[in-house]
Amino acid sequence: MPMLHFHPGGRFLQVSTVGCNFDCPGCISTVIVREMNPDSRALQELTPGQIVEKAIHDECLGIAFLMNDPLAAFDTFLAVAELAKENGLYVGCSSNGYFSVESVNKLLPVLDFINIGIKGLSDERYRACAGFKGVAPVLRNINMLHQGGVHIELACIHRKDNAAELLDLCAVIKDISPKIPLQVMRFIPLEGADPGQEPLIRETEALSRKMRALLPHVYVFNSPGTKELDTVCPSCGETVLSRDFYGPMGARLKTPAWGQEERISCPECRHPLDVRGEVNISDFREKDFQGGYPFTRALEIVESILIAIGVESKAEVIQVWEYLLCNGKMHDLHHDIQQVEKYVQMIRFFGSLVHREGSANILAAYLEEKTESVRAVCLERGTRPRVYYAMGKPQFCIKGERFENNLVEICNGISVNREITVSGRPGMSIPLKTLEDLNPEIIFISAFISNSPVDFYQECVEKGLDIDAVQNKRIYTSPIPSSDFGCPKWILGLMNIANEMHQGERPFDIFKEATGFYARFYGVPFNMQDVNRSFGKPDAAWTWEAEEQRPSSVPV
């Protein structure tokens, strides 16, 4: 949960339900708010008492309601919140802030912190999400919550078309309180969202610096390796709290706890930093797909496989979700999607769960055949280049065990990522010296949260990074978004890696291969302008067929 100024690094129990009062294009939580049935066996039904008891048992500071809006289960949220407060726990939530006055008055006695996602300053932006009264109720509620003593952090999305609007938003927030942090979420087009609206990392960072001239605490998310996640003293410019990218919408503290003051201030000039509560540095790591964003991406990966074997009903997808969740198989899923052989086995297994063994075997056999073809072509080249896989920026190194590094090795490359110990999700920032010692000949940038190779190269030059890949300008990313991890179209990313790693004749026509893949497994034409960064759906134009009656459940 993006909450940077309230007990930074503190341990909170995350809870959620399903559904939402909004219907936003490109929703990052679609699998929870729109596609998961409220009566699904995959959901745990807990009483308020059980939730509070678990938070206390796990030594949490409080309870955070996130992933979907508390308005979807408002009475339940209030019941949990009231009991939590009675037991000395903090209570917070992520929300679109589209409450009535009556609802805000009910929240004020029990709410300690809230992250409100601002859709924009225009009524049109809200109506696009089904907020038919426009932006006014949200701005009113921010005022009410601030006056009521609730700690507020705001999040907004930067698209290519709304930079001026976000600068205006800073002025509006400053009038309410300049102490409110504003989190800029670089737009990552998912679901039906327009891929043409995705800004480059440098564009969002440049905008954030302009915004910080108007509002002291502005942060940048969805940008691996950015320094715009750090808390900087607005008076002297000292970096006080340093953070690293921890998956989209996530940030992890890197600096040690230098104080446990209730009012945290800059150690250089003593200027207050508007941080409430203590700083907590912990070695705690969520398991595999735990946490909000990784959990939804896991469900999307499963969905992507099922769509590719011909599943047309969300009910069938939910069957497989339920099987995995009810049988504690998320750990297996996390492990299996990192290896090509296991991934192919998983396709066949999912096919058996939904009685689509034939189409599952066709997809699996296709991936096996194409993978062996790539392996054979690359072995013929004879060379074994040293390859570094980054995400976003040069210093953000993905973990050595991840799927992308396996693709590099299939192409007869040496994955230098395996030579260093990297934690975090999906990796972490490393020192420039470490990258120089690795001295890769080739760099690939993740095709999910990506970056322009031109921008990437320019940053390497600005940092004085003296490695072979920079000297020879061998920095690449797949031309097809999200095609090197997660969904079955990773086979297209594998072919692109083979093309770029072994200079000379390019053995694979990526766009011809993509056209054939989309026609065969998605039943739709390949249109590069429609392909976004979704793991689950083939492109922005793809929709579910009319819902059929829910099939019988698979055994658990």
pLDDT tens, residue by residue, 493-537: 999 999 999 877 789 999 999 999 999 999 999 999 999 888 888
Q: Are 195 and 56 members of one domain?
A: yes
Q: In angstroms, rounded to a whole number, what is the distance separating the alpha carbons of residues 486 and 298?
A: 8
CATH number at residue 87: 3.20.20.70
- Does the pLDDT value for residue 376 go beyond 60? yes
Q: What mean pLDDT comes out for the span 23-48?
A: 78
- Does the pLDDT value for residue 299 go beyond 90? no
Q: Are 267 and 385 members of one domain?
A: no
The SS3 assignment for 475 reads strand
Q: In angstroms, rounded to a whole number, what is the distance separating the alpha carbons of residues 189 and 250?
A: 17
pLDDT tens column, 85-106: 999 999 999 999 999 999 999 9
In a domain, 148, yes or no: yes
Contact 396, 226 (CB under 8 A): no
Q: Are 130 and 266 members of one domain?
A: yes
Count up the domains in the chain and report the number.
Answer: 2
Q: In angstroms, rounded to a whole number, what is the distance separating the alpha carbons of residues 311 and 315?
A: 9
Question: What percent of the chain is helix, strand and coil (3-state, nearest 5)?
Answer: 40, 15, 45
Q: Are 389 and 524 members of one domain?
A: yes
- Does the pLDDT value for residue 55 go beyond 70? yes
Q: What mean pLDDT comes out for the span 106-126?
A: 92
The beta strands (E) that lie in 246-320 are given as: 251-253, 263-265, 272-276
Q: Are 384 and 270 members of one domain?
A: no
In a domain, 305, yes or no: no
Identify the domain containing residue 228 by its residue range.
12-276
Positive or negative: CA dihedral 208, 22, 13, 143: positive
Which residue's entry shows tokens 């006014």?
136
* 556, HSE (Cβ side, Cα atoms, 13 Å): 15
Higher pLDDT, 449 or 551: 449
Higher pLDDT, 264 or 198: 198
In a domain, 285, yes or no: no
CATH number at residue 476: 3.40.50.1980
Q: In angstroms, rounded to a whole number, what is the distance separating the alpha carbons of residues 483 and 486?
A: 8
Higher pLDDT, 324 or 285: 324
Query: So what's the pLDDT on residue 263?
Result: 52
Contact 390, 453 (CB under 8 A): no
In a domain, 311, yes or no: no
Q: Are 72 and 209 members of one domain?
A: yes
- Does the pLDDT value for residue 66 go beyond 90? no
Mean pLDDT across the chain, nearest whole number? 89
Query: So what's the pLDDT on residue 551?
Result: 38
CA–CA distance from 422 to each of 217, 261, 282, 531, 545 (Å)? 29, 31, 17, 31, 42
Which of 245, 276, 307 marks a domain boundary? 276
Which of 276, 296, 317 marks a domain boundary? 276
pLDDT tens column, 380-409: 988 899 999 999 999 999 999 999 999 999
Q: Are 268 and 406 members of one domain?
A: no
Provide the 10 A C-beta neighbour count for residue 256: 8
Backbone angles phi, psi at 501, to 5 degrees: -70, -35
- Does the pLDDT value for residue 304 go beyond 80? yes
Query: So what's the pLDDT on residue 506?
Result: 83
In a domain, 329, yes or no: no
Query: So what's the pLDDT on residue 265?
Result: 81
In a domain, 444, yes or no: yes
Q: Are 114 and 233 members of one domain?
A: yes
Which of 227, 253, 276 marks a domain boundary? 276
In a domain, 294, yes or no: no
Among 137, 143, 68, 81, CA closest to 109: 81
pLDDT tens column, 165-215: 999 999 999 999 999 999 999 998 888 888 899 999 999 999 999 999 999
pLDDT tens column, 265-283: 888 888 888 899 888 877 6
Contact 252, 241 (CB under 8 A): no
pLDDT tens column, 240-258: 889 999 877 788 888 654 5
Q: Are 263 and 398 members of one domain?
A: no
In a domain, 539, yes or no: no
Lowest-pLDDT choice from 296-300, 433-437, 462-466? 296-300
